[in-house]
Structure 1
Amino acid sequence: MATRFVLIQPSHAGNVGAAARALKVMGFDDLVLVQPRWDDVLERDETVERASGAVDVLRKARAVDTLEEALDGMTHVCATVMTPRDFGPPTYTPREHLGPVAAQGHGVAFLFGSERYGMRNEDVYRCHAALRIPVSPDYGSLNLAAAIQVIAYEWRIALGGFGAPSVAAAPVADAAAVAGMLRHWEEALVAIGFLDPAAPKKLMPRLNQMFNRAQPTTEEIHILRGVAKAMAEAAKKAKP
């Protein structure tokens, strides 16, 4: 899913580098700066040093003159704010808002204001939602790069995280295969004397429910039928 992090008028080169590092750690690499303090901020020594190896994100990053340019192609825009704005978009915590957004498949842009004065009202108003990171009421000051790290983390979790490499699941056996296996087991259980066909009670329905919950694969059905076959053959050999 297209994801972009937009820094509006960043004033500290170190924060730009730290932002690149925060994005790379979470697997994102689309960073756009709107009217940065220095034209060469992406190449400054402090920026590169604070990026700490995320120079590929810096090389891909770009600076633009307007927020309109920065948001090109994005369909859902989130502001980051400390306090809700009158007449602004609804305010959410990242966790409560980002899950539903991820499910909708939007191209999402996250906006961060200047370190000196935050986001301007006019920039907040154009957003679909405002995100407020829950912080201590006694000290709510977050460094720009730290805020980016939190939002990037929450968005990565909403997208499903990284996790272990996915392994294709074995196909679950269909209802007919389960029913056939249960008939085979019923015959075997009768053969070994575990099931009395004259008074079966609820054994087979309970086994049916158990296997439905277990959702055995086709291969597991073959194994279970092999067990039933072995039970029946052992019972046959045991007869005088």
Structure 2
Amino acid sequence: MKLAVVLVSPKTSGNVGAAARAMLNMGADDLRIVAPRCDYKDSASRAMAVHAALLLERAQVYTELKDAIQDCDLVVGTSARVRADLAPPQHPAQVRPLVRGADLTALVFGPEESGLNNADLELCRVIMQVPTAAYASLNLAQAVLLSCYEFLQSESGPPSPDHAPEAGHISSFPARKLALSSEMEGLYGHLRDVMMLTGYTDAVRARHTLRLWRVALDRGAFSSAEVRLVRGLLRQVQWKVGRVQQAAGQEPSGQPETLPIDE
């Protein structure tokens, strides 16, 4: 099991350094930073990192979250809020077996002042909430420490009855290799194109509609072969619509001339 910690647009360098130290405490060494708003290797960061300064030196920097997670087969976003059209947050005990069953998990944390936005959470297959008292706002390094502890150092075992998954949540992934984040994003982009092509949705409602489909399809824990299977069906729809358009004397909407069933 490998775990990558992804910090999205961190504002304060000291928080990045403290997060790196928390990672080292728990045995994580893959730090990825998306669009940092600070010099994450400055003296304040190094002072907070202490012996984890090497993690700062090795950190990979990305412009967008989708690039930082494309090689991961499980993406876990952290959030203390419930969004109406996204999957509800799960308790860490529910997420633990998913992480242990994945090859490479991205554990994603948002900006200090706002957390992950909806666009970032869309890219996460699972949303996790660290349980707290009524005041739910955690310091970035605290959130990293608790989350990494849960997956790397806590005792293994099934969730307790108090934290049993609710109906419809992902409770465990099958013992097989999951599709990469980049493959799932390719599927979702393809699905959006077909939705627009067939009039299933329009430009105004497309994002909300696709979020609902993301929740449903992420629950299926697709493998790479299953992604190819679904995309083969979507290509068939595009090809068929193109034929109908041609028969009606219309210009095809950029549909492929041939139809491979599998990639």
Question: Is the TM value for this pair above 0.5?
Answer: yes
How many residues get paired? 157
Q: Deviations over 1:48-100 (max 9, x none)?
A: 00001111111111221111221121011011001121111242111221124
Larger Rg: 1
What is residue 155 of structure 1 aligned with on the other side? 151
Secondary structure in 2 aligned to 1:3? strand
What amino acid is the match of 1:67?
L
Cα distance, 1:145 vs. partner? 0.6
The 5 Å alignment of 1:179-190 reads none
What is residue 168 of structure 1 aligned with on the other side? none
Residues 9 and 111, structure 2, Cα contact 8 Å, conserved in 1: yes
Q: Distance in 1 between matches of 2:64 and 2:119?
A: 13
Whether 2:31 is the aligned partner of 1:25: answer no
What amino acid is the match of 1:119?
L
What amino acid is the match of 1:105?
A
Q: Distance in 2 between matches of 1:73 and 1:159?
A: 27
Q: Distance in 2 between matches of 1:37 and 1:152?
A: 24
Whether 2:148 is the aligned partner of 1:128: answer no
The 5 Å alignment of 1:149-228 reads 149-157=145-153
What is residue 111 of structure 1 aligned with on the other side? 108
What is residue 80 of structure 2 aligned with on the other side? 82
Query: Cα 1:43–1:101, aligned 2, differ >3 Å: closer, same or farther?
Result: closer
Whether 2:65 is the aligned partner of 1:52: answer no
The 5 Å alignment of 1:1-20 reads 1-20=1-20
Q: Distance in 2 between matches of 1:159 and 1:16?
A: 27
* Percent identity of equivalent pairs: 33
Q: Distance in 2 between matches of 1:158 and 1:90?
A: 23
Secondary structure in 2 aligned to 1:122? helix
Residue 140 of structure 2, aligned match among 132, 138, 144: 144
What amino acid is the match of 2:74?
H
Residues 4 and 30, structure 1, Cα contact 8 Å, conserved in 2: yes
Unaligned runs of 5+ in 1: 161-240
Secondary structure in 1 aligned to 2:153? helix
TM-score by length of 2: 0.57
Cα distance, 1:159 vs. partner? 8.0
TM-score by length of 1: 0.62
The 5 Å alignment of 1:219-238 reads none
Cα distance, 1:107 vs. partner? 1.3
Q: Distance in 2 between matches of 1:54 and 1:123?
A: 27
